[in-house]
Structure 1
Amino acid sequence: MADLTGRIAVVTGAAGTMGRATAEALQADGCRLALIDIDARALDALCAALPDPSLPVVCDVSDEPAVAAACERIRRELGDPDILVNNAGILSNHKVLQTGLAEWRQVLGVNLDGAFLMARELVPAMKARHWGRIINTGSLAAKTGGLTAGTAYAASKGALNSLTFSLARELAPHGVTANGISPAYVRTPMLTEQLTDVQRDALLRDIPVGRFCEPEEFAHVVRFLASPLAGFITGEIIDINGGLLMD
């Protein structure tokens, strides 16, 4: 377990399966948490279930004024965050001919714009302290074009990788790292509800370890990248896919 006692961490998409695992892990490591999600009821339930108090913030991360207001509240009530986990995301399985412009913009808005807006808000204080961690939740789809995921989703995650590289290059001289995690087929509702039994069985045959990723395994990578142990790692995309893609 890494010692992050006193660090302030912001997790977006916190009420989802991976967000919850991340919140639990970072709190166990000593972080004070600001948890962002668009689902107020699920967010309140998460905060009630965590052993230590956390700040629930209802926000649509694709909405610029809402992000600004959310971050101002976090600064006012907790202080300037040290760690940002951009985990908010939505899935689309529609391929190019089935993807309308509204859906394209919605997926890019949450998956890409949200990470950009959150980083833009929180980076100045990280630079001033000469310490910070930005961790972006990507996807295997960025490298494969989407085995089951759609065009907008794959494009959003590819762009998120590029955003990660850009932030890493810019912020490295200021003691701030930016990295991504590229998971594939984590046991979440995206897997259990949006794929068929046939699709899941086919995937299991292709994943060398023979199982899906558990949310806690994703959270383990987050806590490592957030820790002092990862201070010399930046601009990296860490694959966590059970060997489905090796490069």
Structure 2
Amino acid sequence: MQNSTNEPKIALVTGASGSLGKATTKALLAGGHSVVMMDLNQDILNKLQKEMDGRTYPYACNLSDPDEVEKVYSLIEKEVGQIDILVNNAGILSNNKAEATTPEEWQKVMAVNLNGVFYLSRKVMPGMKKKGWGRIINTSSLAAKTGGITAGTAYSTSKGAIMSLTFSLAAELASYGVTVNGIAPAYVRTPMVTKQLTEEQRQELIAKIPVKRFCEPEEFAHVVMFLVDPLAGFITGEIIDQNGGLIFD
């Protein structure tokens, strides 16, 4: 196993101010890693940095803008160092089905959920290849496999495309000691579930989930840490379902 020691790494987590991003950042810090926290709002990131226990570096970036990604990542490499672990977690939700989805909404969802993952992944690849070690972890969704139980067409399609991108990058990087995997969660206990749904809607969802509860953000972060571990180096091009038994494949 190349570079198989558990020495501290430099991680980058997008969507860092969200529930999954916060949980993942905390888990990586607890594992001794440094974390570059990336999201849209610099003030929110600065505040979040004060809440974290460990080495964190807040960088605001609009991931849908390739020029901005280029500029911000160059700054990160200069000020923090090359990224060893990339968690592509940023994303936006759309619940509209096809006929209700405008071209503008379609383009916006794809720009953030898919294009941003591609832009940032291609920036970390040279450094990982040079070191002979790296981890790229992409957040997909159950919606990619079901067509969207409650999620819309653009969102579901973007998450399906992330799976294909994961496979393509995994094939390209496998010989360099870099793994690329995805996680496909469903109904994580986030504000989307706790605030945007009524109690009646939440209970209807729980009734459909075989394990009879929602996923916790910390459980998502636990899967990230498993994939980050050197002993997971023989797993690449895999999409790990985390849906409480809603779908088996």
| Structure 2 CA distance for aligned equivalents of residues 171 and 90 of structure 1 | 27
Unaligned runs of 5+ in 1: none
Three-state SS of the structure 2 residue aligned to 1:36 is strand
- Pairing 1:68–2:70 present: yes
Do the aligned partners of 2:15 and 2:90 also contact (CA within 8 Å) in 1? yes
| Structure 1 CA distance for aligned equivalents of residues 154 and 108 of structure 2 | 9
Do the aligned partners of 1:5 and 1:29 also contact (CA within 8 Å) in 2? no
Match of 1:231 among 212, 230, 233: 233
Unaligned runs of 5+ in 2: none
| Structure 1 CA distance for aligned equivalents of residues 33 and 14 of structure 2 | 15
| Structure 2 CA distance for aligned equivalents of residues 91 and 198 of structure 1 | 21
| Structure 1 CA distance for aligned equivalents of residues 69 and 204 of structure 2 | 39
Deviation at 1:67, TM superposition (A): 0.7
- Pairing 1:209–2:190 present: no
| Structure 2 CA distance for aligned equivalents of residues 18 and 3 of structure 1 | 26
Give the partner amino acid of 2:28. Answer: L
Give the alignment's TM-score, normalised by structure 2: 0.96
Three-state SS of the structure 2 residue aligned to 1:194 is coil
Give the alignment's TM-score, normalised by structure 1: 0.97
- Pairing 1:52–2:59 present: no
Match of 2:192 among 184, 190, 193: 190
Do the aligned partners of 1:12 and 1:85 also contact (CA within 8 Å) in 2? yes
| Structure 2 CA distance for aligned equivalents of residues 125 and 136 of structure 1 | 18
Give the partner amino acid of 2:59. Answer: V
| Structure 2 CA distance for aligned equivalents of residues 26 and 3 of structure 1 | 16
Give the partner amino acid of 1:73. Answer: L
Aligned positions of 1:1-247 closer than 5 A: 4-247=6-249
| Structure 1 CA distance for aligned equivalents of residues 43 and 247 of structure 2 | 37
| Structure 1 CA distance for aligned equivalents of residues 45 and 92 of structure 2 | 17
Deviation at 1:4, TM superposition (A): 4.4
Give the partner amino acid of 2:143. Answer: A
Aligned length: 246
